[in-house]
Structure formats: structure tokens, C-alpha cells
Amino acid sequence: MVNKGPRVYLRFFRVEDAEALLELMNRNRKLFEKVVPTRKESFYSLEHQQSMIELWMKEREEDKGYSFGIFLNENDELIGEISLFDVVRGPMLKCILGYCLDEKQNGKGYMTEALHLIMKFAFKEANFHRIEAGVMPHNVGSIRVLEKAGFKKEGYARKNVRINGNWEDHLMFSVLAEEFLT
């Protein structure tokens, strides 16, 4: 499955992407560790990245999550990862959004484009009604990306996620299918 935009495309991860994913994670380790739950040292191994991709493939088959690589159209370089996880079906039809982008690609509009592509998948193909996202209040760039993509601020989740041993607050955002499809 490929979802293509003007400058980037999204594609489900394949096991052969593990090396590129490992390079992305290692290259951006200091940046990502500021905003994600603490990772064990084994996370930064090829074996772990391969097993993570295999897990994502299984989750996709079971409708539990959808993880995509963000690739540049011009050279197929992996520049980020974007996921829909904690899928809830039934009367809620929602999921949570997570993403990361190579620091050297920040500020170029790639993540905003990737968000539009994943929203198109979420609302038109996976038939979600709602996508939720949480972001730490100091992460101004991520807040701006969510707002540009049409997410609305809904509230403040106190001590929401444990990151680097500390419970961190998050601003909570969401976007609804009818807001995207109109």
C-alpha cells in the first residue's frame, strides 16, 4: 500500500526497511528520546528493528495498528515514521497518532504532508471516525504540525506518559472524519 503526496509517500514497513529504520533512530536518538518513553539499549539494534516491523505487520493484519515509513519521492529515502495505534473499533472507531521525523528534515512541511496522507488512509480506507494525538506542551513544532493538519486542541492530560523516568503532561488533540472529508 502506497499513499503518495507531492513530495513524500507513505508505505507500510517491510522487513527489508529495518536497516534504514535503525539508521533513522540512531541518527535522531537524542531528539527522539526527549519525547518518547524510555527505550532499552536493545532498541538500537538491527534485530530489534526487524522484530518491531514484524510486529507492525501482524498488528496491521489484525486491525490493531498501522505503521508507515515516510519516504521522499525524489530518492526513496526513509525520513520518518507515522503510526495509527491503540485502534478501537465498535461504537468509537478511533485510534491514536504517533510520528517522528528526521531532524534534518524538520521545518520543510514533510510531516504536514505525511499527516494529510495518513488521515486520508485513516478516514477513507480504515474507516476511523476519530484520530487522537498527544504532544508535550513544549514541543511547539509538533503542535504547529497538528494544527496545520486540522487537529483541534481538546484539553490537557496531566502526567499522561512516562518519558525518561518522569510523568509528562500532554496537550490532547483530535480530528474527526467529517472535518477531514469536507
**SS3 of 37, please?**
coil
Domain range list for the chain:
2-132
The model's pLDDT over 89-109, given as tens digits with 9 standing for 90+, comes to: 999 999 999 999 999 999 999
Q: What is the pLDDT of residues 39-61, one digit of tens each?
A: 888 999 999 999 999 999 999 99
**What's the angle, vertex CA 122, arms to CA 1 and CA 161, rounded to 5?**
110
Grid cell, residue 45, equals 539494534
C-alpha neighbours within 13 Å on the C-beta side of residue 126 = 29
| Topology at the third CATH level for domain 2-132 | Aminopeptidase (3.40.630)
pLDDT (tens digit, 9 = 90+) per residue, 154-167? 999 999 999 888 99
pTM of the model: 0.94
Across 109-114, average pLDDT: 96
Task: Provide the pLDDT confidence category of residue 135 given band limits of 50, 70 and 90.
Answer: very high
pLDDT attached to residue 100: 95
Please count the helices (runs of H) and the strands (runs of E) in the chain.
6, 8
State whether residue 27 is helix, strand or coil.
helix
- Rounded Cα distance between 131 and 115, Å, is 11
Question: CA-to-CA distance for 154 and 160, rounded, in angstroms?
Answer: 14
Task: Give yes or no for a contact between 77 and 23, defined as CB atoms under 8 angstroms apart.
Answer: no
